[in-house]
Amino acid sequence: MKIVSLCGEGLCSPVIKITDEKVKIEEKGNICVLPKEQWEAHKLHPLNRQTFAQAI
């Protein structure tokens, strides 16, 4: 499992937990679970490319 936290300059985004089968995105009071294939599609979306690709 790989765990990524996207924090910086006083702001903290959700924690992202990645396994071979699924990706779990967690923040206080919210949890989202995606199949790995759906995560890959979102990760490569142009609006997300810089944020997620650098962290992963």
pLDDT, residue 31, reads: 92
pLDDT, residue 22, reads: 95
Read off the amino acid at residue 24. K
Owning domain of residue 51:
2-55
* Rg over CA atoms, the chain: 11
pLDDT, residue 44, reads: 66
CB hemisphere CA count around 6 (13 angstroms) = 15
> Phi/psi at 19 (nearest 5 deg)?
-120, 180
Residues 6 or more apart in contact with residue 38 via CB below 8 angstroms:
none
- In angstroms, the first-to-last Cα distance of the chain is 12
pLDDT, residue 23, reads: 92
Domain total in the chain: 1
Q: What is the pLDDT of residues 1-56, one digit of tens each?
A: 888 776 666 667 778 899 999 999 888 788 999 999 888 877 766 555 555 555 55
